[in-house]
Chains A and B, each alone.
Chain A
């Protein structure tokens, strides 16, 4: 007989069919552990959602703008006293000379609509942007024959009025604000009721130039977008050929020796060097030593090229490695040289992968800000679009992320809306590029 039958009662009171306290504890620990994992992922995704929600809810305002539609009489006695339509004489009238026209226009509009207000004409005109007079002047200089006529204009409203229309500014929040008064907001309400002030889509934000820090309502991201475009062209023109050439050498030709090892270690370390260090390099080498112009997209492009190269090299090497050796052997077997087998067969087969890697590298470079700060792509107003390729590369410009940083630094909260709006545009670019990369990979990826 065995020991088991001798001990009369079972050792454990529990049975397999019911859980004992210890098992229950272990099972609770198990589900707790699993819950932690779910929580961690949920927190991560929640952060992502918060971020996206934040960007969208705060940034969409930048795409609409408040406009004031007015009929302005371009009085001849103020703009062209001699009446000879001489352009040089018309140009002598500064924007100050145009301010009375706007005052008159708004007063006559008020009279026409029968709005009761105690505001002076000057205070009434203050709801318009400071750029209104310049807009009028530009129009007159472009169309001198319109002097003497009454023309309808759509002026930008002041950023406070715009903020009021978007709910950012309220009567309480302007208690200490000198640039607008509650009476002016009442006046705005009346004009809104009469349809003079409307909020509509603002194309100028996407294509326009930046404006000085007095006029957030007129600021746009268009010019810095061109700056970014030129930088990306430089990166593409330099990083792609150099990156592909370097990868081909390392993957296909390099002998296994210490020099190759050093290069490889170098590349993987360069990929992890903080981006600001590349900015220091750019400042020291391209600007201080080579005297390339400050703030030029060319310099920005060069710095970003150095930064993107490791990314492109790593992805290109991966896609070259993915081409099976049988392809090379077949080419060599029919008499191709090593160089021919690589350039005629391996490279075309690796091209989709290389392209994907390049697009991802470019997207990374497009969003990079820190090195651009050091080579001077902030701190000024990117107001002039370049007129040629050379000036696009060499004249000072901003870039999208640098422009966003610049807006975020300015004191007027109206610029924050612009910054978020700029981020929406930047992210649209990044999402598009990454989507194209993913589609390319799905479409052309070959499993050998």
Chain B
């Protein structure tokens, strides 16, 4: 891994720079620390940062940009005729990459010399067999165009990596030299170092924005591609979800959205009453001991990984429901065919959401001023009347916010529905039938063999973007309501 060694050598260089800079500063002050502008460490740090930051910054940008540039220029080398009917440019490019890395691997293993690997011709040798010897499996015999492109790919990658190593090493040395030359007792090392640190802090903080931008753009581009291949009208307004990997799929989000909302509704039906009553009891009735015992225990439910709930749905709740509603069950009805159903996923998700509703509502109920309760109790209302007629109406906006947050959580939940909800996309009202959700379909369209040029794969990005927008909207609305409500009593 040459990149790793490059990073290590730059780090070593920076460490040397630290020692040198510190020494030089002390020397220039004649060994008297008080004569320096800054503490000696800052001179050392200044030299180290000068060696480190530009070099590593360029390295990072280079590593991000090089694959794209190489990919674009090599992809241009492949003529349209070289792309088989049933294939796409993206697939051919992945062949190119595989051949290129296979050749590199063969050289590394000593099965070929470097010169031999560069002079390979598609007509001359059986490349597939030779690569097979070193354990690189290729799907088909290598075409001449692919081989050319692969050679070009290798060449450009090698040149790029060499150039990168050179430039990064030069930058590190130059940074070190310049900073070292500037080191003098009157140099304001601390100010420079602190400004550098501040820039790093700002960069770290903007990573949050970068992540959001990354999320939006990565999904937006693929969604655009998807709408280029598939009509957006069918996606948003069609009525069937029937992906077909031979093409001609009907990919409409509506049945998935129905399943998602139905399951979330069932989950909220479980979570909201339980969570709300638990919160009321904990906030208004429970003594301190009960509170300190029950609240953390309830919150454990939120800390359990969703895979556990998924397994619980698939192997415990689902079979239990079948025992009641299935063929030969206790009720003697035959309403349920398999363990996966809306009810299975909904109930389990509801259990998961109880602490979301209860904790947030608890905080909100506690924020209602005591004077309002006192007023109501003073007029002779009972405690429950106070809660129902004074506290809850006052806390209502906040509770609505809590429920919205729980709903957004339910819509985006993946593992429980992947394992408990089933895979059939349909509009049905029976909660004992299995239905599917947006997240389930994202997982199934993007796992396994995926071809990033087919609408059946790309639809996952459109689904993801819809999900993102939906949950984001709910969150912003919920946070807005909660914040508005807090202001009211502060």
Q: Which residues of A are in contact with B by a Cβ distance under 8 Å?
A: 26-27, 29-30, 32-34, 36-41, 43-45, 47-48, 51, 54-55, 58, 241-243, 245-246, 248-250, 253-254, 262-263, 266-270, 272-281, 283-285, 288-291, 306, 309-310, 313, 337-339, 363-364, 366-370, 373-374, 376, 378-379, 390, 401, 404-405, 408, 416, 419-420, 423, 426-427, 430, 434
User: Are A280 and B219 neighbours in the complex by a CB distance under 8 Å?
Assistant: yes
Nearest chain A residue, comparing its CB with the CB of B195:
A339
Given contacts A41-B282, A291-B67, A373-B447, contact A285 B382 (CB under 8 A): no
Q: How far is the CB of B356 from chain A (nearest CB, A)?
A: 11
A47 to B316, CA, bound (A): 12
Contact B4 A306 (CB under 8 A): no
Are A249's CB and B413's CB within 8 A? Answer: no
- A269 pairs with B472, CB closer than 8 A: yes
Given A268-B479, A272-B475, A408-B310, verify A309-B194 contact (CB < 8 Å).
no
B312 touching A51 by the CB < 8 A rule? yes
| Given A45-B298, A405-B415, A408-B310: A274 and B471 interface contact (C-beta under 8 Å) | yes
Q: How far is the CB of A247 from chain B (nearest CB, A)?
A: 8
CB under 8 Å from chain A, chain B span 427-468 = 439, 442-443, 446-448, 452, 460-461, 464, 467-468
Contact indicator B281/A40 (Cβ below 8 Å) = yes
Contacts of B1 in A (CB 8 A): 390
Task: Indicate whether A289 sits within 8 Å of B68 (C-beta atoms), given known contacts A248-B201, A270-B212.
Answer: yes
A40 to B284, CA, bound (A): 14
A309 touches B208 (CB 8 A): yes
Known: A272-B475, A273-B412. A263 touches B305 (CB 8 A): no
In the complex, which residues of chain B have a beta carbon less than 8 angstroms from the beta carbon of A249? Answer: 198, 201-202, 204-205
B443 touches A374 (CB 8 A): yes
Known: A273-B215, A284-B461, A379-B447. Is A37-B285 also a contact (CB below 8 A)? yes
Q: In terms of DSSP, what is the predominant structure of the interface of chain A?
A: helix
> Cβ of A378: which chain B residues have Cβ within 8 Å of it?
447
What are 26 A-B residue pairs whose CB atoms fall within 8 Å in the complex? Answer: A30-B383, A37-B280, A37-B285, A38-B281, A40-B278, A45-B298, A54-B316, A242-B207, A246-B205, A262-B209, A273-B468, A273-B471, A274-B411, A274-B467, A275-B412, A276-B414, A276-B467, A277-B219, A277-B468, A280-B461, A284-B222, A309-B207, A367-B304, A370-B415, A370-B439, A419-B315
- Decide: B277 and A36 in contact? CB cutoff 8 A: yes
B448 touches A379 (CB 8 A): yes
CB of A221, distance to nearest CB on chain B (Å): 13
Nearest-CB residue, chain A, relative to B295: A41
- Check if B311 sits within 8 Å of A420, measured CB to CB: yes
10 smallest CB-CB distances across A and B, nearest first, come from A274-B412, A37-B281, A367-B305, A40-B277, A245-B204, A284-B218, A33-B384, A249-B201, A370-B414, A246-B205
Q: Name the contact of B351 in the complex, choosing from A47, A250, A368, A416 (C-beta under 8 A).
A: A47
- Near A by CB (< 8 A), chain B positions 379-426 give 382-385, 387-388, 405, 408-409, 411-415, 418-419
A254 and B205: CB pair below 8 A? yes
Determine if B464 and A276 form an interchain contact, defined as CB atoms under 8 angstroms apart.
yes
Which residues B131-160 have CB closer than 8 A to chain A?
none
Chain B neighbourhood of A58, CB < 8 A: 315
- B315/A416 in contact, CB under 8 A: yes
Contact partners of B298 in chain A: CB under 8 A: 41, 44-45, 48
Q: How far is the CB of A396 from chain B (nearest CB, A)?
A: 14
* Residue of B305, B306, B384 contacting most chain A CB atoms (<10 Å): B305
A-B contact count (CB 8 A): 253
Q: Which residue of B lies closest to A254 (CB)?
A: B205
Judged by DSSP, the binding face of B is: helix
Residues of A within 8 A of B467 (CB): 274, 276-277
Q: Which residues of B contact A (CB under 8 A)?
A: 1, 4, 63-64, 67-68, 97, 190, 194, 197-198, 200-209, 211-212, 214-215, 218-219, 222, 273-278, 280-282, 284-285, 294, 297-298, 300-301, 303-308, 310-312, 314-316, 351, 354-355, 358, 382-385, 387-388, 405, 408-409, 411-415, 418-419, 439, 442-443, 446-448, 452, 460-461, 464, 467-468, 471-472, 475-476, 479
Asked if A266 contacts B198 (CB within 8 A), the reply is no
Measured CB to CB, the closest approach of chain B to A308, in angstroms, equals 11
Whether A272 and B471, one on each chain, are in contact in the complex, defined by CB atoms closer than 8 angstroms, is yes
* Contacting pair A408 B281 (CB below 8 A): no
Asked, given contacts A26-B385, A48-B300, A266-B212, whether A376 binds B447 with beta carbons under 8 Å apart, the answer is yes
Find chain B residues with CB under 8 A from A267 CB: 208
CB distance from A408 to the nearest CB of B (A): 6
| A27–B280 CA distance with the chains assembled, in angstroms | 18
Assembled-state Cα–Cα distance A250/B442 (Å): 35
By beta carbon, the residue of chain A nearest B442 is A276
User: Distance in Å from the Cβ of A188 to the closest Cβ of chain B?
Assistant: 26
